[in-house]
Amino acid sequence: MLAILAAFAAYSLFSKRLSRTVLTLPILFTGLGLALSGPLQATLPPGTVHEGKIILAEVTLILVLFADASHVQFRRLRMNWALPARMLVVGMPLTVALGTVVAFGLNPGTSLAMALLTAAVLTPTDAALGQAVVTNPEVPEHLGQTINVESGLNDGLALPFVVLGATLASTMVGHEPVSGLHLAVEALTEVTFGVLAGVVTGWATAKAMDWSQTRNLMQVSAGAVLFVLSAFSAYVSAALLGGNGFVAAFVAGMTFGNTYRHEIHFIGEFMEGVGQLLTMAAFLVFGAFLLPDGIAHAGVTTVILGVLFLTVVRILPIAISLTGTGLPLREKLFLGWFGPRGLASILFTLLMMAEFDFPNEEELLACVSLTVGFSIIMHGITANPLARRIGQTRNQM
């Protein structure tokens, strides 16, 4: 525990210097978790670890989604709305389809349903891992906004594919099959009520804070408290309505950021402090308790699958979806490459394993963990160099 606290302190002390290197927060704390895996697994009860992994991933993802979305400006997004829309509506289903074919082709002994589930949980991109690119001032605004919006909304849009894959796979071990109509209605409900809960919560919070601040009733520091309350209120409200809480958190952040009439610097300050601490803990837990399983079950097929999902399976559908937009090839490849896999993929896998029974659960978790591990390293190493490159190329035009 002292070693972990010392590592948190050391990163904070040298965070500005480290931000200029390839040693990103996810790389450092995943590595630390992996190094301390043995002592931590021997010390902590398995039940506590399992529940803690899910709660920590959910809390971190909710806050990151809301915070990132609060910086998405509708007036700017209107000029570039077609890019994230194409990537979500065309690119994401193509990614699931291609991923299913690749997963089934590399492991024909598995079922098509498990191949679909594998592709679905590895399709959502991660807001926490994408921050290094989104917040980099050298990345052109239209690219940063596109990556931000896509990573925020694709969790909810991928969920129907995840549930479909898990449901079909679970029928192989005695569960009742679910009709396609039922799944379609469930998917529509998840997204619709998620958006509704997010809009109402974000708007109500912004209006209440504006009212209080114009009457000088609220301390500035209280803004961070209300930001956290709004993010979790959106999530809980969506869950009560039957909607997707992660979509709600992202939509609430967008609505809040575009409705609130005062400065929102308190969100950035919170995420640089408590939010960063949560992100450190989340990747440390991943390195300590999930990545070792991925390494233990790693085989040639698993490694190839992980690399393909981060490259061809991601980049090709995104490039196809952006055909006709006028973007140069380098920008299409940039958007395709920066689709890191992280907390969302891990969280979906853990939640489906808790809710459904399907064959080869350990292999699925190992595959997802290994792919996320690859993503942490590959996207972490390339984030700053490629951000500078795309910025310089843009300026030379």
pLDDT tens string 11-46 = 989 988 887 777 888 889 999 999 999 888 888 887
178 vs 60, residue with greater confidence: 60
* pLDDT grade for 176, boundaries at 50, 70 and 90: low
Percentage of the residues of the chain whose pLDDT score is greater than 90: 29
Assigned CATH class of 49-396: mainly alpha
pLDDT tens string 209-231 = 999 988 888 887 788 899 999 99
Percentage of the residues of the chain whose pLDDT score is greater than 70: 91
pLDDT > 70? residue 49: yes
* pLDDT grade for 397, boundaries at 50, 70 and 90: low
112-121 and 92-106 are packed helices; what angle lies between their axes, rounded to 10 degrees? Answer: 130
pLDDT tens string 53-90 = 888 888 888 888 888 788 777 766 666 678 888 898 89
Q: Average pLDDT of 241-265? A: 87
What pLDDT score was predicted for residue 179?
A: 57
* pLDDT grade for 100, boundaries at 50, 70 and 90: very high
pLDDT tens string 270-288 = 877 888 888 888 889 889 9
Q: What is the average pLDDT score of the chain? A: 84
Token pair listed for 326: 């006028």
Write down the domain spans for the chain: 49-396
Least confident of 149-153, 192-196, 241-245, 250-254: 149-153
What pLDDT score was predicted for residue 299?
A: 83
What pLDDT score was predicted for residue 186?
A: 67
